[in-house]
Chain A
């Protein structure tokens, strides 16, 4: 039997400690939440049968844990000897071994150290307000982001511009701080230096000046071959500045668009009212290929009668049909050279000819090569150079009349005059116009110099390659042409069947000025 004095210490409502004494006598003194326990403590933090005070084999009194935990100085233990002054934690309670009066075996005091917290307050502590500290968080984030942006996008690029030594250091690197200011892709040609802004933007707040361009483009010629026109177009274009900057037409940071402005506005600015720019100009006003463009002029090679051999270009409007006469010096009916034609070797020799048998394109743009006797004519017209009959027949070379006469002198010295006459009547004259010889010439007659117009539209560029899907005769109507004086160049209406002006039309492609014209023959002028 154990005689135990239990001292229950409790706080009164005023906070004064009160002690409640009770003596318990039992074989074992059990302690727990259960009603059957000797020391019945109603606290959910205790086990039903938490611990028991009993005498172990060594005859001493021990506190032994059953279903609950016991701890001394925070160390959990299974058995604890109840020696004088020992402090044991049993859940929220503290058990202390008090000095025992003589009539009991042991005296223990129980004190509730941790009261059960108030449920509501406790739960409130574990319930957080939505988005606690949101406004200070937002303020901090906002300030940090704004500061970061100000640093990276304003302060650093500015510093690079304002501090020369920093600029020098950054120039060694592939990128400068001011790269973040770039408004768009730099064109391919300028990429290799384009990531360092100062290469072109020499001074802050100043537009890019021509001297920045000229650093590399030293040999660029004047854009207009005529110096007076160059001055008029570029230096007094009615703008506030004293001259046009390169960058006004050559817009960088717009890749993949071409660096040079291609829009019609640039051209139309002056050409819509060309007299306003140059009162003496003979050009017609142009606004749009479809609605406002003069009829084409064809360039003819004209011989000067007073100056031997001298030629010049004469441009005749296509509307002036009576003057559209080609003086090529050849007798060439196109009609007899298209389709099935009689070959040189008798009645059975029928050949089929097409345009490309004689007119051959060359290069990327398929520019038509000049007609060449050896390549284009000889295959069928070798007979015309043959003289004599049977075994005595021979041929003379194709060349000027001096060469032919010299050949006659060698091959038929006796019949030179007869053969020369034969050539004048039939041989050379079969294709060429024959003229009276010059005074100082030894030949009895001469062949008129062949001048076939090669560049009919001398102020425009025509790309045969980009029209290769069309048949030749769609634009050049030569099948009925009986004479080499006929001109078979297409007129503006022919172009307008497929092309329109600045804006596309149904089934007609938009065609700007630059589609056909180069800019004032740029690059033809001599470098300064």
Chain B
């Protein structure tokens, strides 16, 4: 039986709460429409805005809460609420805006909120999908184990290549010395390297092995299979790095934009009361 996770925590307690909040806000939005159309400064607008602001602060508090071991409630409960109420917050803030957008601090605040929420959704997706893929990719191994096996195959490949012609030796040498795993953010996020030296070496070896003397054929076959195995090991290592990078990358947006959102929200509220 599957354990309960952050999504169905306590039989979807926070999901239900979020749905009720969205429906209430939507009903109020439909029923109470000011003559000049919906806007943030009507009494309904102020109410929805205050709820949104409180929710934003509460969401931000999660960032502090999850780093503390001694506090009320399980982290699982908090995260479940964070996800569902964050979704509800998006709807409430949208009703608060009354769909009025322009080049001003108010829309900037709304845009930042959307960035934070959308990046949060990607985080959800990552945590739903990638852990399983990581296990599928790595099995019992870990990254260091993979690297150790790659190093071992390097040693064996070089040993064989020592007695092979120069071009084969050079190809193997280059593959061993130049293959890198996850250098740079882009490589980490896409999980493959278009001009990977190992993959190129395997390709070159296929060509180079064609006119070898008979006594080297067996050695060549051994070398080739070692390099092919090496290639798959490198691929798996890259995949592993990709999953881990993608699982953390959304936080590059979620966290800094959340901080920016807090500042923008302060500016948004100040602006409203500075110029009545």
User: Chain A interface (Cβ within 8 Å of chain B)?
Assistant: 33, 35, 42, 44-45, 47-48, 67, 118-120, 122-124, 126-131, 134, 137-138, 141-143, 145-146, 149-150, 153-154, 157-158, 161, 178-185, 197, 201, 204-208, 251, 254, 257, 261-263, 265
Is A134 a contact partner of B260 (Cβ separation < 8 A)? no
Q: Which of B15-23, B71-79, B82-90, B168-176 contacts A (4 or more CB under 8 A)?
A: B168-176
Q: Flag whether B179 is at the interface (Cβ < 8 A).
A: yes
The contact of A127 among B143, B158, B173, B266, by CB within 8 Å, is B143
Give, as a whole number of angstroms, the nearest-CB distance from A126 to chain B: 4
A-B pairs with the 7 shortest C-beta distances?
A263-B35, A119-B151, A142-B256, A207-B276, A181-B271, A142-B259, A145-B260
C-alpha gap A47/B245 in the complex (Å)? 40
User: Chain B interface (Cβ within 8 Å of chain A)?
Assistant: 34-37, 39-41, 100, 102-106, 108, 143-144, 147-148, 150-152, 154-155, 158, 161-163, 165-166, 169, 172-173, 176-177, 179-185, 188, 237, 241, 244-245, 248-249, 251-252, 255-260, 262-264, 266-268, 270-276
A residues within 8 A CB of B155? 119
A residues within 8 A CB of B41? 183
Is A33 a contact partner of B169 (Cβ separation < 8 A)? yes
Is B173 a contact partner of A130 (Cβ separation < 8 A)? no
B residues within 8 A CB of A137? 252
Is A178 a contact partner of B108 (Cβ separation < 8 A)? no
B residues within 8 A CB of A207? 276
Smallest Cβ-Cβ distance to A141: which chain B residue: B256
Inter-chain CB contacts under 8 Å: number: 166
Is A130 a contact partner of B165 (Cβ separation < 8 A)? no
C-alpha gap A169/B188 in the complex (Å)? 50
Is B276 a contact partner of A181 (Cβ separation < 8 A)? no
C-alpha gap A262/B35 in the complex (Å)? 7
A residues within 8 A CB of B144? 124
Smallest Cβ-Cβ distance to A161: which chain B residue: B274
Smallest Cβ-Cβ distance to A185: which chain B residue: B102
Is A126 a contact partner of B183 (Cβ separation < 8 A)? yes
C-alpha gap A49/B244 in the complex (Å)? 46
Assess A184 versus B100: contact at CB under 8 Å? Given A149-B108, A206-B276, A254-B36: yes
A residues within 8 A CB of B147? 120, 123-124, 127
Smallest Cβ-Cβ distance to B165: which chain A residue: A48
Give the most central of A182, A184, A263: most B CB within 10 Å: A184
5 examples of A-B residue contacts, CB within 8 angstroms: A126-B179, A131-B249, A149-B264, A183-B271, A261-B35
Q: A130-B244, A153-B268 are in contact. List 6 more A-B contacts (CB 8 A).
A: A44-B173, A126-B179, A128-B183, A128-B188, A150-B267, A183-B39
C-alpha gap A307/B273 in the complex (Å)? 63
B residues within 8 A CB of A263? 34-36
Smallest Cβ-Cβ distance to B176: which chain A residue: A119
Assess A127 versus B100: contact at CB under 8 Å? Given A178-B275, A207-B276, A263-B34: no
Smallest Cβ-Cβ distance to B149: which chain A residue: A120
Is A149 a contact partner of B272 (Cβ separation < 8 A)? no
B residues within 8 A CB of A130? 182, 188, 241, 244-245, 248
Give the most central of B188, B257, B273, B275: most A CB within 10 Å: B275
A residues within 8 A CB of B258? 142
Assess A138 versus B251: contact at CB under 8 Å? Given A123-B151, A128-B188: yes
C-alpha gap A201/B273 in the complex (Å)? 12
B residues within 8 A CB of A127? 143, 147, 180-182, 237, 241
Is B105 a contact partner of A126 (Cβ separation < 8 A)? no
C-alpha gap A45/B143 in the complex (Å)? 28
C-alpha gap A128/B248 in the complex (Å)? 15
C-alpha gap A243/B205 in the complex (Å)? 92
Is A35 a contact partner of B163 (Cβ separation < 8 A)? yes
Give, as a whole number of angstroms, the nearest-CB distance from B75 to chain A: 19
